[in-house]
Structure 1
Amino acid sequence: MIRKLLASVVVVAGVMGAGVASADETDVNVLYAGSLVNLMERSVGPAFEKETGLHFKGYAAGSNKIANEIKGGLRRGDVFISASPKVNTTLMGEANGNRVTWYVNFAESPLLIGYNPKSRFANDFRTKQWDQVLREPGLRIGRTDPKLDPKGAFTVELMTKAAEQYHQPDLVEKTLGAPENPAQVLPEETLVGRLQSGQLDAGFFYSTETSDLKIPSIHPAPELKIKASYTLTILNDAPNSAGAARFVNFLLSAEGRKLLADHGVDVVRPGVTGNAQSIPASVQAVIDAAQQ
């Protein structure tokens, strides 16, 4: 009986050890803003795997949601890509568990209003002022939770600015309702699919989403321009820090930056925030090259 028990323990330990070794050696877990799901899963991930032989494992959700899960110990990853620099600060410092020490701004994407070309409101979007169309009865609008996703917060900010610019104090209420209106607020990773399937007439999206998926879109006036600022970092407790560095190197390389541009993302000169001394040497070298 004891021999059987010991044998079972050895087998279980061997399986667990093999799993850990496999994950450490080949898996790179990338936690990223849901607006990048098409880019990451269909382009960057496969290209990274082909280039390095490592396995890309992506998890998409609202940036704040991911940060909360990291902070709460509910999710671990190697790389964190956010749609807002502010999200990183919630993971920095001793009070926040020192999950993040530094981050790099690497791309931007303006917030737009996308609509379903088969919607009965499609022609209105093409011929009328966008804020007027958003107030039409029966229009089904989709947006993300402002507490869980920067895009949701940017949506409220955009409409608040528009209300001031157009002297329409009730514009936010008439278009969005309450900040967490359950009739509109949806998980970021499902928003595009709901629009494409006809469940929504319109929604708030970044240019990378509308460009990538050929979604017709409205560009608000220049004075209302609000944009995502994508950042990336290697989490301090990354199970595969070496693989994480290789992923960051790939994304910031000429090939990675071309993939970003091909998917409608505005590539910017990388800028570092936080303790630059903590950045792996190979990553710093790629950042330096991209800054030239």
Structure 2
Amino acid sequence: MRKAGLLLTTVLLLAVLSAGCISGSPGKTSEKEATLTIFHAGSLSIPFQQLENEFSAYAEKNLGVKVKFQDEASGSVEAVRKVTDLHEKADIVATADYTLIPQMLVPNYTDFYVLFATNQIVIAFTNKSRYADEINSTNWYEILAKPGVRFGFSNPNDDPCGYRSVMVMKLADLYYHKPIFETLVEKNTNIYANGTHVYAPKEIQLKTDKIVIRPKETDLTGLVESGSLDYFFIYKSVAEQHNLSYITLPDEINLKDFNKADYYGQVEITLGSTGKTIKAKPIVYGVTVLKDAPNRELALQFLKFLLGEEGKKVFEENHQDFLNPPVAFGNVPDEIKDLVEVKG
């Protein structure tokens, strides 16, 4: 009986081992796993996090892929330079200024790009901010100039929100016929203007403690929320996402009105970080999949998800306007052609 029992145990053990060999290693699933690396503008952080979560569920159900994201938020100029200067690998690059893609990534790193969302510059604050009960769309520059008031914007060399904020203050000169740029920017930093041409030195220096500058615009959010900073120039969508108070600026200076593109274009800025000159223009976001993307096919599926109804819904929920339809340039992939208007 003992021999029979031993024989039965041996047979059962062999059966279990055999099944293990057939089905694969313990703990493994039949699904593939993949990582998508995305370099994107800081102002896209909240909608992209939501979109990534939704795409992960979609991909697991419909594509049989478990997707992980390596998500890196930064100023858009810095995001692009990670690819061009540091030669870091990424699948997708999404910028707050679409022109950075044709200027810096085409043709060596990508051969197409898509314009997909818009925004506007506002001045955000909380009830802790000095003169919070007085500031409005007509006196904002007077409030920012008051003694004791501290305001901020992101570094123009790293971030489109930074160079847009600076150009907004130069456009304010033209609109209000007052030396607003000199009062707010030149007296407090080494950023300067010659007529309507602004220059941002490679190393930004502060002359006073009135202005705070950080690498990307979302870095300033916590400072305002804590009360250590009174005001900052930021995208409307980010102010809404963080439940901040804000004032809107006239359409002639807020960079949202496509009909005022020629008016905005009177002002331009040269960046010390790249040597490139950028004209003020309506705010439009851009996205691309890189030529050498480690997971290019999956990245294109994510882009398709972004440009489709799911992406539009996520951006609408996060208070950011989506282009309808998005506009694509270059060698546009077949996967997204039915979701975009192809130009050029």
Q: Same fold (TM over 0.5)?
A: yes
Where do 1:21-170 residues align within 5 Å? 25-41=33-49, 43-53=50-60, 54-93=67-106, 98-126=108-136, 129-169=139-179
State, as a whole percentage, how many aligned pairs show the same letter: 27
Q: Distance in 1 between matches of 2:103 and 2:81?
A: 8
1:258 corresponds to: 313
Match of 2:212 among 163, 184, 196: 184
Q: Distance in 2 between matches of 1:79 and 1:120?
A: 41
Cα deviation, residue 124, structure 1: 2.3
**Do the aligned partners of 2:80 and 2:105 also contact (CA within 8 Å) in 1?**
no
Which letter maps to 1:205?
I
Cα deviation, residue 88, structure 1: 0.6
Cα deviation, residue 150, structure 1: 0.9
Q: Distance in 2 between matches of 1:266 and 1:126?
A: 24
SS class of match (2:44)? helix
TM-score, normalised relative to structure 2: 0.70
SS class of match (1:26)? strand
Cα deviation, residue 250, structure 1: 1.0
Q: Distance in 2 between matches of 1:225 and 1:127?
A: 11
**Do the aligned partners of 1:91 and 1:100 also contact (CA within 8 Å) in 2?**
no
1:12 corresponds to: none
Cα deviation, residue 156, structure 1: 1.1
Greater per-residue strand proportion: 2
Match of 2:254 among 211, 215, 225: 225
**Structure 2 unaligned spans of 5+:** 1-31, 61-66, 192-203, 257-282
Cα deviation, residue 199, structure 1: 2.3
Structure 1 residues 147 and 255: CA distance shift in structure 2, 3 A: same
Deviation per residue, 1:74-132 (Å, 9 max, x gap): 422101100112211233445xxx11211000110111111122223311225971111
1:211 lines up with 2:240 in the alignment: yes
RMSD: 2.1
User: Which has the larger displacement, 51-60 or 123-132?
Assistant: 123-132
**Do the aligned partners of 1:105 and 1:270 also contact (CA within 8 Å) in 2?**
yes
Deviation per residue, 1:41-90 (Å, 9 max, x gap): 2x222112122132222110000011112101342210110011221123
Q: Distance in 1 between matches of 2:122 and 2:303?
A: 28
User: Which has the larger displacement, 44-53 or 258-267?
Assistant: 44-53
Q: Distance in 2 between matches of 1:93 and 1:33?
A: 18
2:338 corresponds to: 285
SS class of match (1:107)? strand
- Displaced runs of 4 or more, over 6 A: none
User: Which has the larger displacement, 104-113 or 81-90?
Assistant: 81-90
1:245 corresponds to: 300
1:173 lines up with 2:173 in the alignment: no
1:195 corresponds to: 224
Structure 1 residues 240 and 134: CA distance shift in structure 2, 3 A: same
Deviation per residue, 1:188-220 (Å, 9 max, x gap): 141212221222111011111011111111111
**Structure 1 unaligned spans of 5+:** 1-23
SS class of match (1:99)? coil
User: Which has the larger displacement, 72-81 or 145-154?
Assistant: 72-81
Q: Distance in 2 between matches of 1:249 and 1:258?
A: 14
User: Which has the larger displacement, 122-131 or 28-37?
Assistant: 122-131
Which letter maps to 1:32?
H
Deviation per residue, 1:16-56 (Å, 9 max, x gap): xxxxxxxx942111111011112222x22211212213222
Q: Distance in 2 between matches of 1:166 and 1:128?
A: 9
Q: Distance in 2 between matches of 1:238 and 1:127?
A: 44
Match of 2:327 among 265, 271, 280: 271
Aligned length: 259
**Do the aligned partners of 1:27 and 1:243 also contact (CA within 8 Å) in 2?**
no
